């Protein structure tokens, strides 16, 4: 079995297939595993994530994957999400004593950055999602409708759109509301906030991301497999409608009984020959799937400037501030320092792509100083900006029609990646789901079917009674 690509999709497929008894050989072009959800060491020795990554309680397959590779204990879960506007008004989202779907009622009622009119309009829209059990009739419009259109149809106030829907969904889906298929937006609220008390709980890695994948190598190698880093695939060869081999540098060719291609979709599109596109027409459509950017800003201060582990800012360019020093505290090998390391995240950061890095640092620093009074007397020791222009696929209305299934019409060829048909947006959960689905397809074809995909969190509380 050959897996190409050592991101979460390739790793989850590789680990699941190794556990099912296959000898897995994984090939990754970079010197480390984790793909987009990884970390590396800067020349000055600082460990930085490619970008802060978070998971939610409703990400059941990612949780399963972390358990399989021994990393579940490296994720810290938080029950309280904190929101702050430039006037210093604070909103909290935290489950209270009531059962789902009313578990957030208390924190929603006291959410200071929203007006009563905002809250009424939001409650109406949430009720609509609840009545449809995560679905509303207009989501079935051919070609999809945008989230903004969905909100307009439900007469949401400007405050509700800007300070609630936009804040949650741009972070979760990495796209502006006008360019997001409403299906994804409704799903976030159904799975994350309405159907189950624990769906919204936020999981944040307590170690640099690359450390989450140490168990993957062992899982594959202990079963006779291998993990090859710095080994980019250069070509795919077909013979009689089946994959014959894959080619690496210097013409080295490798063959296997089955191949999982877990590459970014645009790399896959480039590698697929015309013959492959004729045999598997979905490969000819991949370029229809657009991409969206995320920018991470890393700031190191000479002293502690923030106590919370993270906070969401409203009405600013900066969307999230993560207190990396607090999140890493007491974790493996991470030293406790006098200063503090913060990581800021800006999703759908189209406006920042062309801006010089120093301008981005200045802009974000100004917002940090406004939000965190403790930072005003602190010295910024160093700062860096990581722009990911193709961070995720863009969840545009109708995008699902371009997302191929994991099983293809080419014998021996399976696809994985957050961009394949999973029903999920571009997330770590989506990537792991795709890997598990690809592994299931391989096992089905081999005549040894097995269920690997984990189910969604079951509805609980009152929601369980009427679903
Ligand atoms: C800045 C940023 C922030 C994000 N934040 C979050 C978040 O908070 N929560 C969340 O759930 N998701 C987040 N995501 C999305 C998440 O990272 C992805 O959905 C997920 O990691 C995708 O995994 P993948 O395996 O499908 O793809 P990738 O991770 O892209 O894996 C593809 C792999 O293929 C390798 N490859 C490419 N070309 C070749 C070649 N020729 N030969 C061999 N190997 C090759 C790549 O090096 C890579 O390792 C974020 C993404 C980014 C970029």
Give pLDDT, residue 368: 98
For ligand 1, say whether the CB of 232 is within 6 Å of any of its atoms: yes
Q: Which secondary structure element, helix H or strand E, spans residue 19, and what is its range?
A: helix 8-19
For ligand 1, say whether the CB of 13 is within 6 Å of any of its atoms: no
Give pLDDT, residue 1: 97
Q: Which atom of ligand 1 is nearest to the CA of 6?
A: 49
By alpha-carbon position, which residue is closest to atom 51 of ligand 1?
A: 391
3-state secondary structure 260-290: EECCCHHHHHHHCCHHHHHHCHHHHHHHHCC
CB neighbours of 131 closer than 8 A, spacing ≥ 6? none
Q: How many Å lie between the centroid of ligand 1 and the Cα of residue 366?
A: 31
For ligand 1, say whether the CB of 4 is within 6 Å of any of its atoms: yes
How many Cα atoms sit within 13 Å of 86 on the Cβ side? Answer: 6
Measured distance CA(209)–CA(41) in Å, rounded: 11
If one residue of 14, 15, 37, 424 were mutated to test the ligand 1 pocket, choosing by the most ligand atoms within 8 A of its CB, it would be 37
Measured distance CA(87)–CA(281) in Å, rounded: 53
Q: Map tokens 């269920």 to a residue.
A: 451
As averages over each run of 10 residues, the pLDDT of the chain (467 residues) reads 98 98 98 97 91 97 98 98 95 96 96 97 98 96 96 98 98 98 98 97 97 97 98 97 97 98 98 97 98 98 97 98 93 66 98 98 98 97 97 98 98 98 98 99 98 97 88
**Beta strands, E only, 276-379:** 291-301, 310-313, 320-323, 340-347
Give pLDDT, residue 52: 96
For ligand 1, say whether the CB of 418 is within 6 Å of any of its atoms: yes
Give pLDDT, residue 333: 47
Measured distance CA(260)–CA(448) in Å, rounded: 17
Q: How many Å lie between the centroid of ligand 1 and the Cα of residue 100?
A: 33
Residue pair 84/314 in contact (Cβ under 8 Å)? The answer is yes
Tokens of 460: 């609980």
Measured distance CA(181)–CA(288) in Å, rounded: 15
For ligand 1, say whether the CB of 352 is within 6 Å of any of its atoms: no
For ligand 1, say whether the CB of 268 is within 6 Å of any of its atoms: no
Q: How many Å lie between the centroid of ligand 1 and the Cα of residue 43?
A: 23
Q: Give SS3 for 133.
A: coil
Measured distance CA(119)–CA(25) in Å, rounded: 53
Give pLDDT, residue 338: 81
pTM of the entire predicted model: 0.97
């Amino acid at each position: 079995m050959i897996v190409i690509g050592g991101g979460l999709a390739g790793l989850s497929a590789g680990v699941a297939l190794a556990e099912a008894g296959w000898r897995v050989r994984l090939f990754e072009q970079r010197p480390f595993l984790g793909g987009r959800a990884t970390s590396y060491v800067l020349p000055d020795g600082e460990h930085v994530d490619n970008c802060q990554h978070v998971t939610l309680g409703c990400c059941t397959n990612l949780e399963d994957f972390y358990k399989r590779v021994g990393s579940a204990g490296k994720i810290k879960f938080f029950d309280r999400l904190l929101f702050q506007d430039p006037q210093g008004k604070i909103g909290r989202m935290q489950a209270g004593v009531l059962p789902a779907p009313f578990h957030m009622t208390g924190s929603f009622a006291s959410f200071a950055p929203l007006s009563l009119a905002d809250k009424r309009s939001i409650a109406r829209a949430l009720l609509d999602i609840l009545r449809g059990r995560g679905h509303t009739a207009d989501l079935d419009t051919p070609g999809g409708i945008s989230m903004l259109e969905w909100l307009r149809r439900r007469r949401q106030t400007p405050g509700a759109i800007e300070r609630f829907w936009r804040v949650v969904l741009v972070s979760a889906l990495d796209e502006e509301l006008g360019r997001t298929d409403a299906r994804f937006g409704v799903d976030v609220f159904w799975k994350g906030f309405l159907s189950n008390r624990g769906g919204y709980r936020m999981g944040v890695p307590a170690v640099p991301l690359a450390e989450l994948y140490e168990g993957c190598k062992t899982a594959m190698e202990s079963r006779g497999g291998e993990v090859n880093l710095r080994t980019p695939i250069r070509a795919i060869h077909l013979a009689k409608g089946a994959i014959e081999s894959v080619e690496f540098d210097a013409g080295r060719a490798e063959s296997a009984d089955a191949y999982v291609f877990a590459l970014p979709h645009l790399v896959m599109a480039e590698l697929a020959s015309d013959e492959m596109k004729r045999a598997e027409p979905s490969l000819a459509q991949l370029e229809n799937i657009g991409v969206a950017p995320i920018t991470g800003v890393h700031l190191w201060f000479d002293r502690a400037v923030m106590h919370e582990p993270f906070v969401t800012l409203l009405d600013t360019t900066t969307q999230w501030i993560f207190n990396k020093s607090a999140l890493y505290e007491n974790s493996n090998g991470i030293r406790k320092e006098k200063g503090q390391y913060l990581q800021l995240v800006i999703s759908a950061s189209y406006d920042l792509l062309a801006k010089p890095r120093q301008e981005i640092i200045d802009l974000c620093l100004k917002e940090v100083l406004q939000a965190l009074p403790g930072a005003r007397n602190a010295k910024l020791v160093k700062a860096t900006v990581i722009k990911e222009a193709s961070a995720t696929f863009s969840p545009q209305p109708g995008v699902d029609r371009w997302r191929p299934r994991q099983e293809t019409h080419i014998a021996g060829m399976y696809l994985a990646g957050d961009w394949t048909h999973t029903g999920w947006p571009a997330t770590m959960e989506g990537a792991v789901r795709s890997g598990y689905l690809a592994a299931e397809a391989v096992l089905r074809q081999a005549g040894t079917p097995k269920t690997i995909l984990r189910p969604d969190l079951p509805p609980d509380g009152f929601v369980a009674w009427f679903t």
